[in-house]
Chains A and B, each alone.
Chain A
Amino acid sequence: MSDVVEKKVEEAHPRGDDPRTDVITEKVSQEEIEEEKKGAAAQKVVDPDYLFLKAPREKQFITGSEAAKEAIRRANVDIAIAYPITPQSETMQQVGYLYAEGYVKDYYRAEEEIGVMSAIAGASRAGVRCLTATSGPGLMRGIEQIQAWPGGRLPSVLLVMCRVINAPLAIQPDNIEISFLLNSGGVVLHGENQQDFYDYALAAFMIGEKAEVTLPVAVAVDGFFVTHARGWVSTPAENMKLPPRECYHEAVPMMDNENPPIRISRDAPIQKSNFISYQMHASWQQEVWAAQERSRKWIDRWLGGLVEVVNPKAKTMIVASGGAVSQAREAVRQSTEQGLDVGLIKVKSIRPFPTQELIEGLDHAEKIIIPEFNYVGWLAKEVKSVIPRVERVVSGPRVFGGMSMPTELIMEKITGEYK
């Protein structure tokens, strides 16, 4: 049988230029074999607990985009789908290099964000580990699909590099877009710096794929301030990666693409106007939000809790997420230097929201300051919706449109003095 095939090839390519046979007959040098063993091919699957918590780490001074690249390198990603938008482009370009080097199995540039987010849904439904990233207007364009991911119980990781979404057009950091993700049902983490962007992005894959969670996880950071600026990032060695996605151990089965007839839709639309269908959709939604709650355990385990508390007994407490945490840390330091009693609660996870942690952590506080990088103050609204005695909350300071927040603005709120 093989003789026949070979002969046919010969006939079709009388000059012996058949690319298939050329490849097969080419002699592979020892160097090439050695090269194959390096990089992606040399990576070993390790236990997530080991990779996140125990593996020895080395410090590097790199940008947020590079930090994300290092997370993806170790994430055993099956498919990454990109569509460029500033300030996200640099990261997905780095992921492109990872694809070229064999760390990411498949990668392509989709037609636009609706296409990206739809394709992510398809890939996740097929049971593979997926990644995409977007910013500001790109998130807005893709959001119809993004809202559908949690209900589809589709684990995937969405990196969000925040930028202005409102007109007039701007590319600067402003994290108002996170507020549009809060009611989807998916997990939403908000990283403070380059280190968080590495840790949260990598842990996000495992959190979302846990059987009791089975949800997409969005990891947001402030664009430019994190993505394009350098910071210290400690990472374990490159030769380790996460175990692959176990799609048979999730809340719902993945789509069977191998045994015909392939089911076009796993979850049939619930369109009939009868009581049964309402009940079905209601219970489905309840289950999505319950699944989100169940992700707490893994956020606690791998990211050290939904919040981080600095100076827990201080009378004035700052509550912040994302880049505002960094500014708040500096305000805490300056306050301490001035002999003022100021503490900080860093909110790492916006969904699930650390309701109990905030009620307890703020119980003693006389004044609560919530600095934000957006106009509407979505974090202040979230905090006020769960804590008692909301008159303690001093809204702001807020900057928006891409401004940075000088620590001096937070100090004004702390001291009550305006310079």
Chain B
Amino acid sequence: MASAEGAVRRFSIRMAGIGGQGVVTASHVLSNGVILDGGESTLVPFFGSEKRMAPVESYVRISTDSIYEIGEIIYPNLIIIFHSQVITHGKSYTMPFYWGLKKDGVVLINSEKPVDMIPDQVRELEEMNASVFYLPATKIAVDVAGTELATNMAMVGAISGILNMPGEDALAKSVKERFVGKGIVTSGGTASLDSVIEKKFAKKAELVEKNAAAVKAAAQYARDHGWDKWQQNRLAAVKEQTVGAN
């Protein structure tokens, strides 16, 4: 049954947010971080007409094993909501926002307080046995990095806290590669946003440092709130099944 454990170590992540928040960038940083940490990962953004404030989705696959699947993720284990308007205003390519979430999955939402959902949505999430976590990502970004533009970094940090991968060092390196070395091929819009971010920081080194700090703070927030137990429980459930089968 080692293979069942393998399945538990494969994650499909759907990230949803609105244009300008850096959802696609977050997926690049996370995916590259996993690769730098020795794992396997692929990512694919949803391709449409990206613009500020319009829905954006990006998909990341993470595994300790080789990854074959391509394309958008219809049935994720984790759903990451970068902006409450994805839920409250329906700014999403996927409606309702949790559609396709696998049983016992995670919904991580950037919000300081629980988001108003209609009773049916609350009920369906309960039926899926979903763990819903609220991360004050924008607040962390402002407090730690001094700008809400680092919200995406906080979201990446929290994901690493929940999955216990990629490791802190690999993720910090991935952030650095995003802004300094080994550029990621970006769209024109992202490139112009990069120059805005750069102006906010005196030096690139400071930019990297502050972003990495936001990642770290959010990862710590996730662990402090016991969100990392979700993955531990999945592994434990597989072990229990294995013992039961024998």
* Interface residues, chain A, with chain B CB atoms under 8 Å away: 61, 63, 65-66, 87, 90, 171-173, 193, 222, 224-226, 228-231, 323, 326-327, 329-330, 333-334, 336-337, 403-408
Contact = CB atoms under 8 A, between A and B. Distances in A.
B35 interface: yes
A337 B7 contact: yes
Contact of B68 (A63, A224, A225, A330): A330
A63 B47 contact: no
Interface in B53-91: 68-75
Given A63-B185, A229-B42, A337-B7, A327 B47 contact: no
Contact of B71 (A63, A333, A404, A408): A404
Contacts of A173: 71
Residue with the highest number of chain B CB atoms closer than 10 Å, among A193, A222, A337: A337
Contacts of B108: none
Contacts of B43: 229-230
B83 to A, nearest CB: 24
Contacts of A327: 68-71
A326 B70 contact: yes
A329 B68 contact: yes
B3 interface: yes
Contacts of A326: 68-70
Interface size class of B (residues with CB under 8 A): 20 to 34
Given A90-B185, A231-B42, A337-B3, A405 B47 contact: no
A222 B70 CA distance: 10
B110 interface: no
Residue with the highest number of chain B CB atoms closer than 10 Å, among A61, A173, A231, A336: A61
22 contacts: A172-B47, A193-B70, A222-B70, A225-B70, A228-B44, A228-B45, A229-B42, A230-B31, A326-B68, A326-B69, A327-B68, A330-B68, A330-B69, A333-B68, A334-B7, A337-B4, A337-B7, A403-B72, A404-B73, A404-B74, A407-B69, A408-B75
A336 B44 contact: no
B39 to A, nearest CB: 12
Contact of A228 (B32, B47, B75): B47
Given A229-B44, A230-B42, A323 B71 contact: yes
Contacts of A329: 68-69
Contacts of B96: none
B6 interface: yes
A337 B10 CA distance: 13
B68 A229 contact: no
A16 to B, nearest CB: 42
Contacts of A229: 42-44, 70
A336 B2 CA distance: 12
Interface of A, helix, strand, loop or mixed by DSSP: mixed
Contacts of B42: 229-231
A172 B46 CA distance: 10
Nearest to B7: A337
Contacts of B7: 334, 337
Contacts of A172: 47
Contacts of B69: 326-327, 329-330, 407
Residue with the highest number of chain A CB atoms closer than 10 Å, among B31, B68, B72, B73: B68
- The 5 lowest CB-CB distance pairs between A and B, nearest first, are A404-B71, A329-B68, A406-B74, A404-B72, A337-B3
A225 B6 contact: no
B75 A405 contact: no
Contact of B3 (A61, A222, A330, A336): A336
Contacts of B35: 61
Residue with the highest number of chain A CB atoms closer than 10 Å, among B35, B69, B74, B75: B69
A408 B74 contact: yes
A224 B70 CA distance: 10
A224 B47 contact: yes
A226 B45 contact: no
Given A333-B68, A408-B74, 4 more contacts: A224-B44, A229-B42, A327-B69, A406-B75
A63 B72 CA distance: 16
Contacts of A404: 70-74
Nearest to A193: B70
A167 to B, nearest CB: 18
A404 B57 CA distance: 14
A224 B4 CA distance: 31
A231 B3 CA distance: 23
